[in-house]
């Protein structure tokens, strides 16, 4: 059912949400609001479509050059406009940025907007128990014995936590004898609070607690400030294909900002209600009370420029660009933030999948228009630029310049960036297997250039420079061993898959002074552009049938395992067992790599369609077995919608715009919803 507003045909559920929940309390007149919305669509839809056409035109020229045997080098890419001139040196002018983004280095969560329980867990992950994180994971070798508290395991946890405290807060225990400590900033009752590298550590003293009772200082836990920021995701980790899905996402975002989001669920035979944590109150060394935020600072990730949504039909009957709708409505919801999220009055929107500076400039103009519609000051809406498309990473300084007065975030990420690398050079030849991509020349240049270009543009102290996700939530020992490389690289945030991982990753930001690292890196030039443009081709390589089958099985299993949940259950991100039964966090970006990798091999004859179909049949049986305990799971038969979607992602992969998976996923998910 649709309702007409200002010439737009809008799903009634969306109109109801806007007029009954989002507009009340904002002093915005509904009629004027809808008129302004219609005006934004009228002004920006033609430009949005033109930018997408430009993407297609550039890709067509690159494809044609590869087919003709031309060198697709820097000179060629400049000739066709794929590369632009480097801007003269500049410094971003972003102002009114919260400290969590500008001046604090720490972990970042990304959480799907459709799941209220996950959202609450993530927002509340600002503080985490180090004892729990160590006790319940493989961060310490072994595991707790079943049947209650394991004293031996508990002793190992306490010992590991003490080692950490000795390392980052030497002499910490002296405060219990009344001595001063340079990092001590306050107390909560008998519990001391320390600040180190911008992050807080609370030693929770509770002598009535079973652990605190036996501790010489009464310490029952070590509480770390953990997920400093969280990205509430409307994009890669969600399956939002219609108005009902979009309204749920907007409603949850509104509830977070209003502070009234709740979720009731059953656990352990009890009914529990989860709410947002309050702020934390301490007494300073001068006797005055102060508060620290109890919740993570929230970004919201809008969708990119590509997709449209049936939630709004334009006057010509076509679907409205989803990214424009997101910009308007996520910002409208943010008017309900009264300092519970941003204390500077800023709205933080992460914008993914932009290709080059023209698209970044389009976003800047769009945000100007949304600010005018909502009565916001200029640049109140801040932007995070996802540096995960080849044309953006190759023109990063120009992209930053296009949003220089509102940018608060750039990042590198292996996933979408690898999918775009494969698709952009699809016609060049067969690519190396995806497992080898992480050691290829372009990825190191990409990671290093991102940080150094960001620093040269003045992001340090004003914005986040981020790194990608740790994908294995059950492998915390490996994370502790490897992910310290992110702060060491100069990144002042990096993605983690869970609140527990955020608590453990927080240890790295005590062990590494990121801002000191950034000062050193400012003196280093970024790697040359030609390194970034080195295509990861498998030149002259011949694979055995066993090698081909192994790579096809690996990719097909990942595709099926993810797609079956997306299509049948609407789960956009989850821990999916891989081919070796290791749980990995999968989203549309991982799907893009796997589908593009097989499509590339098919195109260049490394494998045949028959071999691909054989791999899908083998892996369907494996995925069925891996999901045997899920009562909502539907087996993968060759005529099932999910199976058809998985095949289409591969066999139609070359033709998909920029290799994105969204168009096909949305198509097949809509079919599944209609059937059910």
Residue with the two structure tokens 């003045």: 458
- At 253, list the tokens: 């975002």
Backbone angles phi, psi at 659, to 5 degrees: 75, 10
Q: Distance between CA 497 and CA 109 in Å, rounded?
A: 7
In 344-394, beta strands by DSSP E? 347-351, 381-386
Q: Distance between CA 617 and CA 611 in Å, rounded?
A: 10
The pairs formed by 56-64 with CB atoms below 8 angstroms and a separation of 24 or more are 56/657, 58/82, 58/391, 59/423, 59/424, 59/658, 62/424, 62/425, 62/427, 63/426, 63/427
- Using CB atoms within 10 Å of the CB of residue 77, give its burial: 0 to 12 exposed, 13 to 18 middle, 19+ buried: buried
Residues whose CB falls within 8 Å of the CB of residue 553, separated by 6 or more in sequence, listed in order = 579, 615, 618, 619
Query: Active-site residue numbers?
Result: 301, 587
Cβ pair 336, 344 in contact under 8 A: no
Q: Helix, strand, coil: what percent of the chain each, to 5?
A: 50, 15, 35
Q: Distance between CA 483 and CA 486 in Å, rounded?
A: 6
In 285-389, beta strands by DSSP E? 289-292, 297-301, 308-313, 319-321, 347-351, 381-386
- At 260, list the tokens: 């009234």
Reference 514, options 90, 91, 107; nearest CA is 107
Crossing angle for the helix pair 545-569 and 641-651, nearest 10 degrees?
Answer: 130
Cβ pair 152, 142 in contact under 8 A: no
Q: Distance between CA 263 and CA 604 in Å, rounded?
A: 50
Residues whose CB falls within 8 Å of the CB of residue 210, separated by 6 or more in sequence, listed in order = 149
- At 112, list the tokens: 């799907």
Reference 97, options 439, 441, 458; nearest CA is 458
Q: Distance between CA 422 and CA 581 in Å, rounded?
A: 26
* SS3 labels along 20-54: HHHCCCCCCCHHHHHHHHHHHHHHHHHHHHHHHHH
Residues whose CB falls within 8 Å of the CB of residue 282, separated by 6 or more in sequence, listed in order = 185, 186, 187, 188, 193, 289, 290, 291, 292
Cβ pair 568, 633 in contact under 8 A: yes
Crossing angle for the helix pair 414-424 and 441-456, nearest 10 degrees?
Answer: 120
Does the CA dihedral 392-393-397-403 come out positive or negative? positive
Cβ pair 281, 269 in contact under 8 A: no
């Amino acid at each position: 059912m649709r309702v007409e507003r200002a010439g737009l045909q809008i799903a009634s559920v969306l109109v109801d949400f806007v007029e009954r929940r989002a507009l009340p309390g904002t002093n915005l007149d509904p009629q004027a609001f809808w008129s302004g919305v219609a005006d934004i669509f009228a002004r920006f839809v033609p430009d949005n479509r033109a930018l997408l056409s430009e993407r297609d035109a550039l890709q067509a020229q690159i494809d044609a050059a590869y087919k003709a045997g031309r060198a697709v080098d820097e000179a060629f890419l400049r000739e066709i406009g794929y590369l632009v001139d480097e801007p003269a040196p500049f410094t971003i002018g972003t102002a009114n940025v919260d400290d969590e983004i500008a001046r604090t280095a720490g972990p970042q969560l990304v959480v799907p907007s459709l799941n209220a329980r996950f959202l609450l867990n993530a927002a509340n992950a600002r503080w985490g128990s180090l004892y729990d994180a160590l006790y319940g994971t493989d961060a310490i070798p072994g595991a707790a014995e079943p049947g209650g508290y394991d004293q031996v395991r508990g002793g190992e946890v306490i010992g590991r936590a003490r080692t950490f405290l000795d390392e980052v807060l030497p002499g910490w225990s002296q405060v219990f004898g009344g001595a001063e400590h340079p990092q001590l900033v306050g107390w909560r009752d008998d519990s001391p609070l320390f600040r180190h590298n911008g992050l807080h550590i609370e030693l929770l003293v509770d002598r009535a607690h079973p652990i605190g009772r036996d501790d010489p200082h009464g310490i029952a836990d070590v509480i770390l400030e953990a997920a400093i920021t969280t990205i509430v995701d409307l994009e890669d980790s969600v399956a939002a294909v219609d108005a009902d899905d979009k309204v749920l996402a907007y409603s949850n975002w509104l509830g977070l900002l209003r502070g009234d989001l709740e979720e009731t669920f059953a656990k352990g035979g009890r009914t529990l209600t989860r709410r947002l944590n309050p702020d934390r109150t301490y007494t300073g060394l001068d006797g005055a009370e102060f508060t620290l935020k109890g919740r993570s600072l929230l970004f919201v990730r809008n969708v990119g420029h590509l997709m449209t949504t049936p939630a709004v039909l334009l006057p010509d009957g076509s679907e409205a660009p989803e990214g424009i709708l997101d910009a308007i409505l996520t910002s409208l919801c943010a008017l309900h933030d009264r300092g519970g999220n941003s204390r500077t009055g800023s709205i933080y929107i992460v914008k993914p999948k932009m290709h080059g500076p023209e698209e970044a400039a389009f976003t800047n103009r769009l945000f100007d228009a949304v600010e005018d519609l909502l009565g916001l000051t200029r640049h109140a809406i801040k932007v995070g630029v996802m540096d995960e498309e080849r044309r953006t990473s190759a023109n990063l300084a120009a992209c930053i310049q296009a949003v220089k007065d509102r940018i608060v975030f750039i990042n590198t990420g292996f996933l979408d960036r690898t999918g775009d690398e494969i698709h952009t050079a699809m016609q060049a030849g067969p690519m190396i297997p995806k497992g080898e991509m992480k050691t290829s020349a372009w990825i190191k240049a990409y990671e290093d250039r991102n940080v150094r270009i960001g620093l040269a543009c003045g992001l340090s102290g004003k914005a986040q420079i981020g790194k990608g996700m740790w994908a294995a939530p059950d492998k915390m020992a490996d994370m502790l061993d490897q992910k310290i490389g992110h702060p060491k690289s100069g990144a002042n945030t990096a993605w983690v898959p869970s609140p527990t991982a955020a608590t453990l990753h927080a240890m790295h930001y005590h062990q590494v002074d990121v801002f000191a690292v950034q000062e050193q890196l400012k003196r280093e030039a970024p790697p040359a552009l030609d390194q970034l443009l080195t295509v990861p081709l498998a030149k002259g390589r011949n694979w055995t049938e066993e090698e081909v089958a192994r790579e096809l099985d690996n990719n097909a299993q990942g595709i099926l395992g993810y797609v079956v949940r997306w299509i049948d259950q609407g789960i956009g991100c989850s821990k999916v067992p891989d081919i070796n039964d290791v749980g990995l966090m999968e989203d549309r970006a991982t799907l893009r790599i796997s589908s593009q990798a097989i499509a590339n091999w098919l195109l260049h004859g490394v494998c045949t369609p028959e071999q691909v179909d054989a791999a899908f049949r083998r892996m369907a049986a494996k995925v069925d077995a891996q999901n045997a305990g899920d009562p909502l799971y539907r087996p993968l038969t060759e005529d099932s919608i999910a199976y058809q979607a998985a095949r289409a992602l591969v066999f139609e992969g070359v033709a998909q715009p920029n290799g994105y998976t969204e168009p096909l996923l949305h198509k097949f998910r809509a079919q599944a919803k209609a059937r059910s």
